[in-house]
Amino acid sequence: MITIKQLTSKSDLKKFVTFPFKLYKDSKYWVPSLIKDEMETLDTAKNPVFKNAEAWYYLAYKDDEIVGRIAVILNHLEINEQQKKKIRFGWLDMVDDVEVTKALLEKVFDKGREHNLEYAEGPVGFSNMEKAGILTMGFEEMNTMITWYHFPYYAEHLQKLGFEKQATWVEYKMNVPQSIFEKVKKFSELVKSRYGLSVIRFKNKKEILPYVDSMFDLLNKTYNTLQTFVPIQQYQIDYYKEKYFNFIHPDYITCIKDKDGKLIAFSIVMPSFSKALKKANGKLFPFGWNHILKAQKKNDTAAFYLIGIDPEYQGKGVTAIIFEEMQHLFNSKGIQTVETNPELKENTAVQLLWKDYNPVQHKERSTFRKDI
């Protein structure tokens, strides 16, 4: 018999967060989240997203053993301002038993009906700055720190239960050339000269801080036409700043300003932390930080996380400047392989950025939707 229990205590939340460690203990591809970070993300008292969101967390039990989990989420900005009558669900994990999945998703439908919503979609987080989508391709690839890994049966369960794909993201892997393409170098210099642009270089993390708010402002401007977009609030910016700042290396940040000093484009690349987080196994102490620091200092793989370009400068070749900077960085750091972050399949403008680097699609993930 399957029993669904709503979480009522911090110890329940710990069980919720650590369930995947049991489910994926034998998987060499699953990269765990940091337990402390997950606990704080889901804590209504610590995550400022709950100023405009609500969430309910559930665990599925079978014979007194935890066999699944799910978070049911209301994003009030999305519902009230964007008029999307959607109930979100995320943090969906379960054993290979479609009845467990069905029982968990019934809690999503119950909350959706209770709030007069029209459809359910997931897995997603509280906002578009968090992990999203069930893996549907790339099961023999490690996930990055900003994506989920899933067994193939996850998508199969949802399809059996009448869900259909909604948003789809693709991810690419590419090899780094030994030297910069001459045409990229020439075009970069031309664009800088034509528009009076220059590159901002950082010596330490402290120098990055004055530009963080402007970076998020550019993200809002860059992606506000995409189907999954929900505006990033200032309190979320402050929260993400604190959450991810320790992982940032100033050498991997590229910012471009105009002649008046205004930020018009940026990119954030990081050394790949997948192997380091795998070794840390959810904990930074006592040895997890050591693995992270080693990954920052010596790594042959990088992950391309974010890029933002002011709409006024989109299509004017600004990416050539970013690629020139990245090429110099990768060659100096010994980076041989780069992996992109998830990009919406219809966002062909971003995918065209990589065309000269012979990208290979190695992963795909989708959210799934069903009317209530």
Q: Are residues 143 and 257 in the same domain?
A: no
352 pLDDT more than 90: no
Q: Is residue 255 part of a domain?
A: yes
Backbone angles phi, psi at 233, to 5 degrees: -90, 160
220-263 pLDDT per residue, tens: 777 666 555 666 777 777 777 777 777 788 899 999 999 999 99
What is the model's pLDDT at position 231? Answer: 67
Name the residue among 49, 48, 37 with its Cα closest to residue 244: 37
Q: What is the mean pLDDT of residues 153-180?
A: 95
CB 311 within 8 A of CB 221: yes
Q: Are residues 209 and 128 in the same domain?
A: no
Q: Is residue 151 part of a domain?
A: yes
Q: Are residues 158 and 249 in the same domain?
A: no
28-49 pLDDT per residue, tens: 999 999 999 999 999 999 998 8
Alpha helices, H only, 178-287: 182-195, 209-223, 234-244, 274-280
DSSP H/E element including 290: helix 288-297
Q: Are residues 290 and 186 in the same domain?
A: yes
**Do strands 86-94 and 65-75 pair parallel, antiparallel, or not at all (unpaired)?**
antiparallel
Name the residue among 195, 208, 207 with its Cα closest to residue 257: 195
Q: Is residue 292 part of a domain?
A: yes
What is the model's pLDDT at position 361? Answer: 96
- Any idea which of 43-47, 100-104, 173-177, 344-348 has the lowest mean pLDDT? 344-348
CATH number at residue 67: 3.40.630.30
204 pLDDT more than 70: yes
Residue 301, domain extent:
177-335
Residue labelled with tokens 């970069």? 188
Neighbours of 300 (CB within 10 A): 13
What is the model's pLDDT at position 339? Answer: 95
Per cent of the chain over pLDDT 90 is 65
Q: Is residue 251 part of a domain?
A: yes
Q: Is residue 70 part of a domain?
A: yes
Question: Is residue 123 very low, low, confident or very high in pLDDT (cuts 50, 70, 90)?
Answer: very high
Q: Are residues 7 and 138 in the same domain?
A: yes
Domain boundary among 144, 170, 196: 170
pTM, two decimals, is 0.90
- What residues pair up with 165 in beta bridges, in sequence order? 368
203 pLDDT more than 70: yes
87 pLDDT more than 90: yes
Q: Are residues 165 and 183 in the same domain?
A: no
304-338 pLDDT per residue, tens: 888 888 989 988 889 889 989 988 999 999 999 99
Q: Are residues 148 and 222 in the same domain?
A: no
Q: Are residues 102 and 229 in the same domain?
A: no
Q: Are residues 152 and 223 in the same domain?
A: no
Distance CA 330, CA 271 (A): 10
What is the model's pLDDT at position 228? Answer: 57
Q: Are residues 229 and 272 in the same domain?
A: yes
Question: Is residue 106 very low, low, confident or very high in pLDDT (cuts 50, 70, 90)?
Answer: very high
* Tokens standing for residue 292: 């992270």
Q: Are residues 49 and 144 in the same domain?
A: yes
Mean pLDDT for all residues in the chain: 91
Q: Is residue 164 part of a domain?
A: yes
Distance CA 237, CA 247 (A): 16
Q: Is residue 352 part of a domain?
A: no
| Total structural domains within the chain | 2
Q: Are residues 38 and 102 in the same domain?
A: yes
Domain boundary among 170, 186, 207: 170
Q: Is residue 358 part of a domain?
A: no
